[in-house]
């Protein structure tokens, strides 16, 4: 068989492979964006220091990463944009309210007290320890995308 014959026989197979790859990404849109890197095991202490400094200095509006343990599940905030809300305790003991916009990103199903959640979002100061928000993509593309990670899955 000449070269032209081999190429013409391979084209349908190549088309099927391309369709399979594109179809799987279309069916699973969370795979279209590259997965954020998980928080490294040494990172919590550094993240806790950054968050502790932001809290003690009353700073807001900083993009931060970290992880904590869920200590309290709160009812969803349903006024305006809907938010899944829960409180995390960092290794340092500082607590953070997480306000995760579930109009822009999937909610974390079956979240329970004692679960570990990693986050990338914006810190806003308050007297109770602070709030983490912007834990989702920015539909306008003007803000660094945030995310939550629970049991190996990203919610963004």
**Cβ 7 vs Cβ 30: under 8 Å:** no
Residue 18, SS3 per DSSP:
helix
Mean pLDDT of 56-60: 94
Listed in sequence order, the residues at least 6 apart from 134 whose beta carbon sits closer than 8 Å to its beta carbon are 63, 121, 122, 143, 144, 146
pLDDT digits (tens, 9 = 90+) for 10-52: 444 434 434 443 343 333 334 333 444 444 444 568 888 999 9
Give the closest residue to 83 by CA, choosing from 36, 131, 139.
131
Q: Quick check: pTM over 0.75?
A: no
The dihedrals phi and psi of 134, each to the nearest 5 degrees, come to 55, 45
pLDDT of residue 28: 39
DSSP 156: -
pLDDT digits (tens, 9 = 90+) for 93-144: 999 999 999 999 999 999 999 999 999 999 999 999 999 999 999 999 898 9
């Amino acid at each position: 068989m000449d070269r032209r014959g081999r190429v013409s026989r391979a084209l349908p197979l190549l088309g099927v492979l391309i369709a399979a790859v594109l179809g799987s990404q279309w069916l699973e849109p969370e795979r279209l964006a590259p997965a954020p890197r998980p928080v490294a095991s040494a990172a919590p202490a550094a993240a806790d220091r950054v968050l502790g400094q932001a809290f003690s200095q009353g700073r807001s509006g900083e993009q931060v990463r970290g992880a904590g343990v869920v200590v309290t599940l709160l009812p969803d905030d349903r006024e305006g944009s809907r938010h899944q809300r829960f409180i995390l305790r960092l290794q340092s003991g500082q607590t953070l309210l997480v306000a995760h916009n579930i109009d822009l990103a999937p909610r974390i199903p079956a979240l329970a007290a004692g679960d570990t959640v990693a986050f990338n979002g914006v810190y806003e100061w308050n007297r109770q320890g602070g709030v983490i928000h912007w834990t989702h993509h920015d539909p306008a593309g003007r803000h660094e995308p945030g995310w939550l990670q629970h049991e190996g899955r990203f919610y963004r």
